[in-house]
C-alpha cells in the first residue's frame, strides 16, 4: 500500500472536500480522486459516500481513518527516532570517571546532558584510574572518559577541563596535622599510600614533586582507587598526595592540608578517535556549548618521562622513585 495514498485519504477525510484537500496537498483534484479510487479498489471497500453536493466518510472509512492516522503517526515517530539516534540525541553513552572527578565533574556533566539530551541515557563507571579508562575507550567498553592526561598514543583525543593542585592527606593524629604550613620536603621520612596502577598520572606528579624536594617517596601501601587510598590514610598507614577535589570527600580520621611545592594535575574529557559515535559527538557539542569543555583539541604540556619501573611492581620492591617502606635510606 502506497503511504502517499494514506496521506491523501486522511486529508480528504479531514476536509470532506476533494477540492480543498487537493489544494492542501498541492496536487490536481483529478489526480487526488484517482488516488482515492485506487485505494478503495485495493481495500475492496468504499471509503467515501459522494454526491454532487457533499463528501462523507462511510463506516468503513471512519474505521480506516483511525487506522491510517495510527500508521502515519507511528511512521513519523519512527522517522524522528531514527534521526535522533543518527544525530546522537538518543541511545546510550558509557562514560568513565577517575576517582575524585565523580564528585567534582560528574554532577555538572550529568545535569547538562539531562537538560540538553534528555533522550540520551548515561551509564556511569566511577572510580577508574586513567589506564583502565584508556583501555575501555580502545576496547569500546567506554564511549567517553573523564581522566588525567597525558595519554599515550594519538588514537585518544583529550580536552583539558581543569587543572588541580595536589594537596596532602594525612592521618588526623599525624605529627604534621597541626603545623601552620607544610612543604613536600616535610614528608621525606613518611610512608606513602599511592595508587596501585604504575601508570597513574597522580603518582607521576607525586614522584616529580618529591624529586624536586630531594627525596624519593617511600611507598608503603597501594590502593586501587581514591576511596581505598583515603581509608588507608585514615588507618594511619601512611600519607598521600592527592588532587584538590578530594576536599569534597569527608572521611573521619583524614586531614587534608595545602602543600607547598607540589605539582598540579590536569583533568580531561577523552574519547577514541576511531570509535567517535554520534552520541559522543552530541555530548561533546552540548558540553562545549555549556562551557564545560574547550572548543578545540587540547595539547597537554610534555611531562618529564618516567622509567617503566617508577611505580611498577609490589610495595616491597625498590624503584628509583618510590622506595619500599622497608628501605631505611632514602634515595636522594
CATH number at residue 52: 1.10.10.10
Q: In terms of domains, do 24 and 121 share one?
A: no
Chosen domain end from 34, 54, 86: 86
Provide CB contacts within 8 A for 208, sequence distance 6+.
263, 303, 304
Q: Looking at the predicted structure, is the pLDDT value of residue 309 above 60?
A: no
User: Which pLDDT score, from 0 to 100, does residue 300 have?
Assistant: 30
* Number of domains composing the chain: 3
Write down the residue that cell numbers 625498590 correspond to. Answer: 318
Q: What is the DSSP letter of 153?
A: S
299 in any annotated domain: no
More confident residue, 307 or 279: 279
Chosen domain end from 45, 65, 86: 86
Provide CB contacts within 8 A for 315, sequence distance 6+.
219, 220, 221, 222, 324, 325
Q: In terms of domains, do 174 and 255 share one?
A: yes
Q: In terms of domains, do 145 and 212 share one?
A: no
Q: In terms of domains, do 53 and 127 share one?
A: no
Q: In terms of domains, do 217 and 320 share one?
A: yes
Pairs from 289-295 (Cβ < 8 Å, separation ≥ 24) = 289/116, 290/112, 290/116, 292/108, 292/109, 292/112, 292/161, 293/159, 293/161, 293/269, 294/159, 294/160, 294/161
271 in any annotated domain: yes
Q: In terms of domains, do 200 and 247 share one?
A: yes
- 280-298 per-position pLDDT tens digit: 988 998 899 888 888 654 3
Chosen domain end from 86, 112, 131: 86
Q: What is the CATH number of the domain that holds 239?
A: 3.40.190.10
Q: In terms of domains, do 175 and 134 share one?
A: no
Q: In terms of domains, do 276 and 256 share one?
A: no
329 in any annotated domain: no
215 in any annotated domain: yes
Q: In terms of domains, do 135 and 219 share one?
A: no
User: Which pLDDT score, from 0 to 100, does residue 83 have?
Assistant: 65
Q: In terms of domains, do 96 and 82 share one?
A: no
How far apart (Å, rounded) are the C-alpha atoms in residues 17 and 236?
86
Q: In terms of domains, do 155 and 186 share one?
A: no
**Residue 42, all three cell numbers:** 485495493
Q: In terms of domains, do 309 and 216 share one?
A: yes
How far apart (Å, rounded) are the C-alpha atoms in residues 245 and 311?
23
Confidence at 301, pLDDT banded by 50, 70, 90: very low
Q: Looking at the predicted structure, is the pLDDT value of residue 8 above 90?
A: no
Q: Looking at the predicted structure, is the pLDDT value of residue 81 above 80?
A: no
User: Which pLDDT score, from 0 to 100, does residue 310 have?
Assistant: 39
Q: Model pTM?
A: 0.61
332 in any annotated domain: no
176 in any annotated domain: yes
- 208-259 per-position pLDDT tens digit: 999 999 999 999 999 988 889 999 999 999 999 999 988 887 789 999 999 9
More confident residue, 100 or 261: 261
Query: What is the domain extent for residue 273?
Result: 91-160+266-289
331 in any annotated domain: no
37 in any annotated domain: yes
User: Which pLDDT score, from 0 to 100, does residue 84 have?
Assistant: 57
Amino acid at each position: 500500500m502506497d503511504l502517499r495514498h494514506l496521506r491523501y485519504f486522511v486529508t480528504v477525510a479531514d476536509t470532506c472536500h476533494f477540492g480543498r484537500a487537493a489544494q492542501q496537498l498541492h496536487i490536481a483534484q483529478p489526480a487526488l480522486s484517482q488516488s482515492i479510487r485506487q485505494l478503495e479498489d485495493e481495500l475492496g471497500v468504499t471509503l467515501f459516500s459522494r454526491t454532487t453536493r457533499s463528501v462523507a466518510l462511510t463506516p468503513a472509512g471512519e474505521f480506516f481513518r483511525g487506522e491510517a492516522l495510527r500508521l502515519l503517526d507511528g511512521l513519523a515517530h519512527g522517522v524522528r527516532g531514527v534521526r535522533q539516534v543518527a544525530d546522537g540525541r538518543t541511545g546510550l553513552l558509557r562514560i568513565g570517571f577517575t576517582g575524585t572527578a565523580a564528585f567534582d565533574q560528574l554532577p555538572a556533566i550529568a545535569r547538562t546532558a539531562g537538560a540538553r539530551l534528555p533522550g540520551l541515557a548515561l551509564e556511569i563507571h566511577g572510580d577508574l584510574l586513567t589506564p583502565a579508562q584508556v583501555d575501555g575507550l580502545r576496547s569500546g567498553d567506554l564511549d567517553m572518559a573523564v581522566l588525567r592526561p597525558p595519554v599515550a598514543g594519538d588514537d585518544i583525543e583529550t580536552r583539558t577541563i581543569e587543572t588541580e593542585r595536589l594537596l596532602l592527606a594525612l592521618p588526623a593524629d599525624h605529627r604534621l596535622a597541626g603545623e601552620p604550613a607544610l612543604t613536600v620536603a616535610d614528608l621525606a621520612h613518611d610512608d606513602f599510600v599511592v595508587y596501585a596502577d604504575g601508570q597513574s598520572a597522580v603518582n607521576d606528579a607525586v614522584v616529580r614533586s618529591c624529586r624536586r624536594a630531594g627525596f624519593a617517596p617511600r611507598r608503603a601501601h597501594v590502593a586501587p582507587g581514591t576511596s581505598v587510598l583515603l581509608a588507608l590514610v585514615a588507618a594511619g598507614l601512611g600519607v598521600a598526595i592527592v588532587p584538590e577535589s578530594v576536599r569534597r570527600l569527608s572521611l573521619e580520621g583524614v586531614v587534608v592540608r595545602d602543600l607547598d611545592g607540589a605539582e598540579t594535575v590536569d583533568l580531561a574529557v577523552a574519547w577514541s578517535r576511531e570509535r567517535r559515535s554520534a552520541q559522543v559527538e552530541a555530548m561533546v557539542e552540548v558540553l562545549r556549548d555549556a562551557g564545560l569543555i574547550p572548543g578545540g583539541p587540547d595539547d597537554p604540556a610534555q611531562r618529564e618521562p618516567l622509567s617503566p619501573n617508577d611505580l611498577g611492581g609490589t610495595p616491597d620492591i625498590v624503584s628509583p622513585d618510590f622506595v619500599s617502606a622497608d628501605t631505611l635510606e632514602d634515595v636522594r
